[in-house]
Amino acid sequence: MNTKETKKNTTQTGLNNWVVYRHIRLDKNMPFYIGIASDSKRPNNKKDRSSFWKSIVNKTDYIVEIIFENLTKDQAIEKEVEFIKLYGMFGSFRCGRPGAGIATSKTLVGPMRRRS
């Protein structure tokens, strides 16, 4: 097996190495970000975040909580969408990852709508 084949096999969506995580702002004890990752460092990484995410963390401390682990990529995406919908219903969710399932839709209603 060559290097390309090995790399392709380790990034398959069927591997159970994905997590769903949330960032919770401590001033309000409310989640403001839901994300998925196959890299254990990503949930705690402050790089490559939106300006809205950065504006929140510049105002308050936050914690990272792993909600689910050992998921396939498809399962992680499904849970991410589910939690974005859940928090959006309660008006507490304000920040989503660009390219995240439901967060990419401009047809969303309420607080989950992306601001252009």
Q: Are 87 and 35 in contact (CB under 8 A)?
A: no
Confidence of residue 6 (pLDDT cuts 50, 70, 90): very low
Record: fold of 15-110: GIY-YIG endonuclease (3.40.1440)
User: Which pLDDT score is estimated for 39?
Assistant: 87
Residue 23's DSSP bridge partners are: 33, 64
- State phi, psi for 88 to the nearest 5 degrees: -65, -35
Cβ atoms < 10 Å from Cβ of 37: 18
CB of 68 within 8 A of CB of 62? no
Q: Where are the domains of the chain?
A: 15-110
**Lowest-pLDDT range of 36-45, 74-83, 93-102, 107-116:** 107-116
Ranked by mean pLDDT, which of 23-27, 88-92, 94-98 comes out on top?
A: 23-27
pLDDT for 38-59, tens place per residue? 988 999 999 989 888 999 999 9
